[in-house]
Amino acid sequence: MNIIKVKNISKEYKISKHENGFIGYIKHILNPKTETFKAVQNISFEIKEGEIVGYLGENGAGKSTTIKMLTGLLTPTSGEIEVNGIVPYKNRIENNFQIGAVFGQKTQLWWDLPVIESFKLIGSLYKMSKKEYESNLNWIIEKLELQELLNKQVKNLSLGQKMKCEIAATFLHKPKIVYLDEPTIGLDVLVKENIRKFIKEVNKEFHTTILLTTHDIKDVEELCDRIILIDKGCIIYDGSINTFKIKYSNNDFVTIFKKESESYIAKIKMNNEMQIVEETKNYIKIKYNSQKISIVEIIDLFKKYYTIENVETNEAKFEEILKDIYRGHTNVE
Ligand X SMILES: Nc1ncnc2c1ncn2[C@@H]1O[C@H](COP(=O)(O)OP(=O)(O)OP(=O)(O)O)[C@@H](O)[C@H]1O
Give contact residues for ligand X (rule: CB under 6 A).
13, 15, 37, 39, 57, 59-65
**Rounded distance between C-alpha atoms, residue 229 and residue 16, angstroms:** 29
Smallest distance from the beta carbon of 8 to ligand X, in angstroms?
18
| 41/153 with CB nearer ligand X | 41
| 39/167 with CB nearer Mg ion | 39
Smallest distance from the beta carbon of 288 to ligand X, in angstroms?
32
95 is a contact residue toward Mg ion (CB under 5 A): no
Q: What is the DSSP code (8-state) at residue 212?
A: E
| 63/164 with CB nearer ligand X | 63
Binding mask 119-158 for Mg ion (x = CB under 5 A): ----------------------------------------
Smallest distance from the beta carbon of 11 to Mg ion, in angstroms?
13
Q: Please count the residues of the chain.
A: 333
Torsion, CA 219, CA 222, CA 226, CA 232, rounded to 10 = 20
Which among 108, 71, 76, 77 is positioned nearest to 91, based on CA atoms? 71
Which among 274, 302, 292 is positioned nearest to 330, based on CA atoms? 292
Smallest distance from the beta carbon of 294 to Mg ion, in angstroms?
38
Which of 64, 118, 209, 250 forms a contact with Mg ion (CB under 5 A)? 64
Smallest distance from the beta carbon of 215 to ligand X, in angstroms?
7
Q: Which does 251 bind (CB under 5 to 8 A by kind): ligand X, Mg ion, none?
A: none
**Rounded distance between C-alpha atoms, residue 172 and residue 135, angstroms:** 10
226-231 and 52-56 strand pairing: parallel
Q: Which does 57 bind (CB under 5 to 8 A by kind): ligand X, Mg ion, none?
A: ligand X
Other CB atoms within a 10 A radius of the CB of residue 101 amount to 21
The answer to whether the CB of 229 falls within 8 A of the CB of 237 is: yes
**Which residues bind to Mg ion, rule: CB under 5 A?**
63-64
